[in-house]
């Protein structure tokens, strides 16, 4: 009973958010959504590890691994164009924009993976900043609320 009530509340809240135009959901269970959940986890782990030189020293190897994972996920994102076309409220041509934005995500991730192998904190942090810019660049057009 309580559980049911909760569901009603959350679903009407989601509807409200969509109506307000602040939230855009593609396919809740689609490969893009799944990829984004993983992207978020990997990105958060990198965030934490590059925050300070001390943290980085401990986790440099993990950053390299996570960056490689991010490259794989960026490739899934590039392939998510069909789902991206279902996103509502996008100004302009969704397909063309997706191609550009996803390609930028892939390029910056590949650069990060390359730089991370050298285990230089400042350079890795910089390369990661470029990746994060590509996240928000895409979310701006496809209107996903950024979690960072």
Residues that bind ligand HEC (CB under 6 A): 25-26, 32-33, 36-37, 39-40, 43, 77, 84, 87, 98, 101-102, 105, 131, 134-135, 138-139, 142, 144, 147
Task: Mark residue 146 as left, alpha or beta (left: phi above 0; alpha: psi -120 to 50; beta: remaining).
Answer: beta
Nearer Cβ to ligand HEC (116/144): 144
- If the CB atoms of residues 39 and 60 are measured against ligand HEC, the closer one turns out to be 39
DSSP 24: -
Confirm if 81 and 102 have CB atoms less than 8 A apart.
Answer: yes
Minimum CB distance to ligand HEC, residue 40 (Å): 4
Minimum distance from residue 143 beta carbon to ligand HEC (Å): 8
State the minimum distance, in angstroms, from the CB of residue 25 to ligand HEC: 5
CA angle 101, 105, 108 (to 5 degrees): 130
Nearer to ligand HEC, 56 or 105 (CB): 105
Shortest Cβ distance from residue 109 to ligand HEC (Å)? 8
Complex with ligand HEC: residue 37 or 93, whichever CB lies closer: 37
User: Does residue 132 come out as left (phi exceeding 0), alpha (psi in the -120 to 50 range) or beta?
Assistant: alpha
Q: Report the C-alpha gap between 77 and 35 in whole angstroms.
A: 7
CA atoms within 13 A on the CB side of 142: 29
């Amino acid at each position: 009973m309580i559980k049911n009530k909760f569901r009603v509340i959350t679903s009407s809240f989601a509807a409200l958010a969509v109506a307000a135009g602040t939230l855009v959901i593609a396919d809740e269970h689609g490969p893009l959504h799944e990829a984004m959940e993983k992207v978020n986890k990997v990105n958060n782990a990198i965030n934490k590890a590059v925050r300070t030189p001390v943290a980085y020293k401990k986790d440099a190897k993990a950053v390299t691994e996570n960056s490689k994972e991010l490259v794989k996920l960026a490739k899934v994102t590039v392939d998510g164009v069909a789902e991206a076309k279902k996103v509502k409220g996008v100004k302009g041509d969704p397909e063309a924009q997706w191609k550009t934005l996803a390609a930028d995500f892939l390029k910056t991730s590949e650069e990060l993976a390359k730089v991370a192998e050298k285990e230089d904190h400042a350079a890795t942090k910089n390369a990661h900043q470029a990746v994060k810019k590509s996240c928000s660049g895409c979310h701006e057009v496809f209107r996903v609320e950024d979690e960072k």
